[in-house]
Structure 1
Amino acid sequence: MKRLALFAVVAAFAAPVSAADALRPVVVARGLDHPWALAFLPDGRALVTEKVGRLRLLRGDGTLSPPLAGLPAVDVRGQCGLLDVAVDPEFERNGLVFWTYAALQGEGNTTALARGRLVGERLTEVRTIFVQQPGVSSRAHCGSRIVFLRDGTLAVGLGDRFSRRDDAQLPGNHLGKFVRLDREGRAPADNPRRAGWAPEVWSLGHRNVQGAALHPASGELWASEHGPQGGDEVNVVEGGRNYGWPLLTYGRNYGTGTRIGDEGPRPGFEQPLKVWVPSIAPSGMAFVTSDRYPGWRGSLMLGALRGEALVRLTLDGRRVVDEQRLPMGQRIRDLRQGPDGWLYVLTDGRDGELWRLER
């Protein structure tokens, strides 16, 4: 049996949902226009991005603030707009928050990283600290996710912009890459910095990163990305590694269904830990570290856009030993574990909602 067929069988026979595992979505906020990302603040509030270019605060009483003023101009078209948001681990000391967004650049656009200081319900000292190069005339594959690594640097997943997929293998640019930056948007001295690599590049061969999270025990960076017509992946992303796209993929060309590259394994390229064929379009992801969900501690949870579900992966180290699908009936854009131990999800739509998942 070919490896692709094996993955297809595994995906098709995901474990059913038992009554004990059923989740009860509790609506925390509604009326969000294509919400994209959620990040909790130490004081119990949360930040929510809307792809249409609005950053809002979810207050402790459950109400949403008006859009925060002072963001750079956001280019909203297709899959691009205001994207991820992350709170600095030292927020209580420095008040910094970071976000990614699509920025106009020449006749095209690009994915950029900005930061600002949150004071009450105001953003101050806002500035863009990193801009993906080159800009591309595209409405697709802007990425992106932001994760603070344990050393205080930021890993930012950047899409290949769809029309430039071969650039994901060119280390001199930022298309289809993870970059690693300090809080000023500069490349740390201990980045891979191989011959021909842009100094910011951490890893290459990514298509369209849509989820990322830090493993709570190992501190490893885990990420999910979309494949074309199959080939969605989960990877552990390490510095200096090549994750294959588009030379190594289980996806297929749109329309024709023809192969794009090898399915692997292939020397010099990392094999994914998990592949979905057909696609579920994985989105935000989080590790379960609380005891709110008996038997789930240590699981990796992912949202699914096309699959309109939550996916729970049971892990043995880096090995995925089981998959469970929990139908939600809506496209899930982001998923985070809150300070209270509950899982929170954002639904994708013009009238999107924030849910707390209880059992």
Structure 2
Amino acid sequence: MKHLFMILTFIAALIGIECQASSSPDYVLEQVAEGLGIPWGMVLIGPNTLLVTERGGQLIQLDLTTGQRHNIKGVPQVYAKGQGGLFDIQLGPTDSDTDSKQQWLYFTYAKPVAGQGRTTLARAQLRGQSLIQWQDLLVTQSATTTNRHFGSRIAFDDKGHVFFSVGDRGHRPNGQDLTTHAGSILRLNLDGTVPQDNPFVTDDNALDAIYSYGHRNPQGLAFDAKNQRLWAIEHGPRGGDEINLIKAGGNYGWPVVSFGKEYWGPFNVGEATFKAGMEPPIKVFTPSIAPSSLLLYSGHAFSAWRGDLLSGALKLTHLNRVVLDGERASSEQRLLTELKQRIRQIIEDDQGYLLIATDSGFIYRLKPR
């Protein structure tokens, strides 16, 4: 009985964390752009110059001061069907010896291969209003007959590695199958080669690029350089969205363990919510918020948020803030509920202000009042 009480207490801590409404906001929300296609990824390449990926396959350069925008040429053909398309964009790491003109932009997108889409990590350089030297670094082994659950977000550590996520592609067994990249978070060197210390490089029955597995559809990654750890947020089924602390070689359980239910009825997905040998989530969202991105806030504009995790919510249309206490989620706050828009991506600028993109084609700037 004592053991059962401890399990129930832990579950309550996961799904019953304090939730505060944004009834007295201390921020100002400014609209900076509208009329975009679904703006999936954003990256600043200057104080007022923003690159935006549209899921339909366009790359837009936006001047945040004037509102002027240009289509960037050189994006390859994209598999823009269902949930497929052009996904994340990130500016690659640089150092004092790197020529800024040689800095790489990293992308994830659904690449059309034999009539199906495969989540792909690529990089290119920007020259004027064109991409040059486009390189597909890894066309993942993830094709299925569905157009669901491609992932995909990108994160860098400070040791020359790039992480990116791939969803289970709508085929649940992929989550536990190490012979496919689907349902995994992958780690590569910046040039696309496989690090020799990846957890499965000596396993003949696993793909070398896999860093963790047992994921359903991770659409947010954030690397914490201070504490040298990688955070991920992923979609559960009906209920059961998760925030996970990613460990090398970790199995995160999908679809064997889950906090979600079937879409077709009130039945649990999987065998249990916890199982030995599978990593438990740091936080579970029930009902689902449908998380779309993840940012570990490091700015000074919202000083109380430093070190917190921020995510967009699609289904429940808000900005989600999770306060961390070490490796534990201690509280949650839901902001921008009055906006009533599906928040797709959040980044921060040099001043610590937030840039927020929504599926309705808007980009906003969030500043302290």
Once the 2 structures are TM-superposed, how far is the Cα of residue 120 of structure 1 from its aligned partner? 2.6
Structure 2 gap segments, 5+ residues each: none
Once the 2 structures are TM-superposed, how far is the Cα of residue 3 of structure 1 from its aligned partner? 6.3
Separation (CA, whole Å) in 2 of partners of 1:45 and 1:96:
16
Q: Percent identity?
A: 35
Q: What do the CA deviations read for 1:107-158 (whole angstroms, capped 9, x no partner)?
A: 3211111211112322111121211104212211011001111112110100
Q: What do the CA deviations read for 1:27-80 (whole angstroms, capped 9, x no partner)?
A: 112111111011122554221100010011123534343221111100111111
Once the 2 structures are TM-superposed, how far is the Cα of residue 294 of structure 1 from its aligned partner? 4.0
SS at match of 1:53: coil
Structure 1 gap segments, 5+ residues each: none
1:48 aligns with 2:52: yes
Q: What do the CA deviations read for 1:202-256 (whole angstroms, capped 9, x no partner)?
A: 1100110111111242131111000000010001112111111101110111112
SS at match of 1:283: coil
Q: Which residue of structure 2 lines up, in the alignment, with residue 241 of structure 1?
A: 250
For normalisation by structure 1, the TM-score amounts to 0.93
Q: Which residue of structure 1 lines up, in the alignment, with residue 157 of structure 2?
A: 149
Q: What do the CA deviations read for 1:240-297 (whole angstroms, capped 9, x no partner)?
A: 1111110111011111231221343321110000001110001112122222124222
Separation (CA, whole Å) in 2 of partners of 1:319 and 1:118:
40
State the aligned residue count: 354
Root-mean-square deviation (CA, aligned residues, Å) is: 1.9
Separation (CA, whole Å) in 1 of partners of 2:66 and 2:270:
48
Q: Which residue of structure 2 lines up, in the alignment, with residue 184 of structure 1?
A: 191
Change over 3 Å in CA distance of 1:49–1:105 after alignment to 2: same
Q: Which residue of structure 1 lines up, in the alignment, with residue 274 of structure 2?
A: 265
Change over 3 Å in CA distance of 1:202–1:260 after alignment to 2: same
SS at match of 2:133: strand
Separation (CA, whole Å) in 1 of partners of 2:125 and 2:79:
22
Separation (CA, whole Å) in 1 of partners of 2:88 and 2:234:
14
Separation (CA, whole Å) in 1 of partners of 2:124 and 2:21:
44
SS at match of 2:207: coil
Is the 1:47–1:57 contact (alpha carbons within 8 Å) kept by the matching residues of 2?
Answer: yes
Correspondences of 1:302-341 after superposition (within 5 Å): 302-326=311-335, 327=337, 328-341=339-352
Change over 3 Å in CA distance of 1:282–1:199 after alignment to 2: same
Separation (CA, whole Å) in 1 of partners of 2:131 and 2:47:
16
SS at match of 1:74: coil
Q: Which residue of structure 2 lines up, in the alignment, with residue 206 of structure 1?
A: 215
Is the 1:147–1:213 contact (alpha carbons within 8 Å) kept by the matching residues of 2?
Answer: yes
Separation (CA, whole Å) in 1 of partners of 2:263 and 2:365:
36
For normalisation by structure 2, the TM-score amounts to 0.91
Separation (CA, whole Å) in 2 of partners of 1:155 and 1:263:
29
Separation (CA, whole Å) in 2 of partners of 1:279 and 1:75:
27
Is the 1:229–1:254 contact (alpha carbons within 8 Å) kept by the matching residues of 2?
Answer: yes
Correspondences of 1:41-120 after superposition (within 5 Å): 41-42=45-46, 44-59=48-63, 61-90=65-94, 92=100, 94-120=102-128
SS at match of 1:284: coil
1:274 aligns with 2:283: yes
Change over 3 Å in CA distance of 1:186–1:316 after alignment to 2: same
Separation (CA, whole Å) in 2 of partners of 1:204 and 1:146:
16
Change over 3 Å in CA distance of 1:15–1:61 after alignment to 2: closer
